[in-house]
């Protein structure tokens, strides 16, 4: 290949690589892959699906086991600066609920994270969570409603429940009854994908 043609090819290649957009997964142990092999968690499966579908996105999974909405809120500005994501998937609140924290505080933290992400130029997908019935009907209702209220107030798309379709099936969870097994991760991904795909851009944005 002539030198000029080779240089042109490399420039096109590097330019394409530079255009890859980042998807930042900002969650807790349900997204961090607690109890799973590194390649089994749904964010890793998301990267595989994006590549299979031809979308030019790189997934950065910055989820932390045990994270609360307050902790995520405090850490997010630095992550936005470091990764400059095109899309932020916020999956937080489960640990707030398990600790019985007021849903109003969850709403405030989620809205603050959405505002920070938007100010950084990112689109946002909000992922909801639900509490088991043993927390009492009033709390479980207000907790689940917090995500819908935030979605309505901010206009960001909402996936109502990360564990949709199998939350009532104990065989899909690890021994702790909280964290899904590897075989449930594809179902989780399908749930997230329904909310994420409209944010990825037109088919012309594919490889």
Q: Give the residue numbers marked as catalytic.
A: 29, 176, 179
Measure CA of the first residue to CA of the last residue in the chain; give whole Å: 24
Cα 138 to Cα 19, 111, 125, 144: the distances in Å are 47, 22, 26, 10
Residue pair 117/126 in contact (Cβ under 8 Å)? The answer is no
Q: Around Cβ 17, how many Cβ atoms within 10 Å?
A: 10
Which residues lie closer than 8 Å to 8 by C-beta, 6 or more apart? none
3-state secondary structure of 193: helix
d(C-alpha 172, C-alpha 183), whole Å: 7
- According to the 3-state scheme, what is the secondary structure of 16-59? HHHCCEEEEEEECHHHHCCCCCCCCCHHHHHHHHHHHHCECEEE
């Amino acid at each position: 290949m002539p030198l000029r043609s080779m240089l042109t090819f490399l420039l096109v290649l590097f330019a394409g690589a530079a255009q890859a957009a980042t998807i930042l997964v900002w969650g807790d142990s349900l997204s961090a892959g607690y109890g799973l092999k590194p390649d089994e968690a749904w964010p890793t499966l998301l990267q595989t699906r994006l590549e299979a579908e031809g979308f030019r996105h790189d997934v950065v999974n910055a989820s932390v086991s045990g994270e609360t909405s307050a902790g995520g809120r405090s850490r997010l500005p630095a992550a936005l600066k470091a990764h400059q994501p095109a899309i932020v998937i916020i999956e937080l609140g489960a640990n707030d609920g398990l600790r019985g924290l007021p849903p109003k505080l969850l709403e405030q933290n989620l809205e603050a994270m959405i505002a920070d992400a938007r100010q950084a130029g990112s689109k946002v997908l909000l992922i909801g969570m639900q509490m088991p019935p043993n927390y009492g009907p009033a709390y479980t209702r207000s907790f689940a409603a917090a995500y819908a209220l935030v979605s309505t107030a901010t206009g960001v798309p909402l996936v109502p429940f990360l564990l949709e379709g199998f939350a009532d099936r104990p065989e899909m969870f690890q021994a702790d009854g909280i964290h899904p097994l590897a075989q449930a991760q594809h179902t989780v991904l399908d749930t997230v994908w329904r909310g994420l795909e409209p944010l990825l851009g037109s088919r012309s944005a594919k490889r």
